[in-house]
Structure formats: structure tokens, C-alpha cells
């Protein structure tokens, strides 16, 4: 996608001057797009091969874009799942460590009580 964007930025004449343009307009009522589409018989008569080649290149580019987009979404989903699992693991570890600290605090309290009792006896 990046290469395609760079190409379009560096070669605007290739994008706008091909018989039907590399990409359709974003809006159906775009006057430049309507001008190209309304003269489709001219394209068929005088630029049929160029029109077919450009259409095939556009479909190929769109297919490659969709494929890359799909792969990126799969990778993003995998990363999100991995981060979620990692966060769950860390939450469990934090909970276990907190419980361990509470147990140790309770044990320390017991030992302090025993030490005080032994000091009173002595």
C-alpha cells in the first residue's frame, strides 16, 4: 500500500491521464469520473487494450491490497490475543504474590506475638 501511495504521489499524470484512471472516484457525482465513464464507448473504440490492461492492474492492486489488509488484521488479532493472555498471566501472578505477602505478614505477626510473649516470660 505504501508503494502504491508513493507511486500515485510521484506520478499523478499516470493516475489521472489513463483512460479510466487508476481508481474510481470516491463520490459518484465527481465530474472528472463522470466525464471518463460517459465516454466509455470512446474507450472501447480507441483504447480497448489500454482500458483492459488498466482495469486488470487495478483489480490486481485491489486484490493485493485486500490480501495485505487481511494479513495485517490477522497479525493485529494475534498480537491483541497475546497481549491479553500476557496481561491475564501477570494479573494472576500479582494476585498470587499479594496472597503470599498477606500470608507472610500474618506469619510475621504471629512470630512478633510469640517474641513478645517470650520477652515477657524472661
| Residue in the block written with cell 470512446 | 42
Q: How confident is the model over 97-122, as pLDDT tens digits?
A: 999 999 999 999 999 989 888 888 76
Q: What angle do CA 60, 49, 55 make, to 5 degrees?
A: 25
Cα dist from 22 to 1, 8, 59, 84, whole Å: 14, 9, 10, 41
> What is the reported pTM?
0.49
Residue 36 CA to residue 28 CA, distance in Å, equals 12
Q: How confident is the model over 59-111, as pLDDT tens digits?
A: 888 888 889 999 999 999 999 999 999 999 999 999 999 999 999 999 999 99
**Are 33 and 20 contacting, i.e. CB atoms less than 8 angstroms apart?**
no
Amino acid at each position: 500500500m505504501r508503494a502504491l501511495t508513493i507511486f500515485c504521489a510521484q506520478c499523478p499524470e499516470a493516475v489521472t491521464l489513463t483512460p479510466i484512471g487508476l481508481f474510481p472516484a470516491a463520490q459518484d457525482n465527481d465530474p472528472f469520473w463522470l466525464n471518463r465513464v460517459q465516454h466509455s464507448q470512446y474507450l472501447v473504440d480507441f483504447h480497448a487494450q489500454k482500458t483492459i490492461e488498466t482495469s486488470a492492474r487495478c483489480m490486481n492492486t485491489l486484490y493485493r491490497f485486500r490480501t495485505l489488509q487481511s494479513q495485517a488484521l490477522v497479525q493485529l488479532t494475534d498480537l491483541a490475543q497475546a497481549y491479553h493472555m500476557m496481561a491475564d498471566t501477570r494479573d494472576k501472578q500479582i494476585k498470587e504474590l499479594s496472597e503470599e505477602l498477606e500470608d507472610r505478614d500474618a506469619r510475621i505477626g504471629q512470630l512478633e506475638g510469640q517474641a513478645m510473649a517470650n520477652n515477657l516470660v524472661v
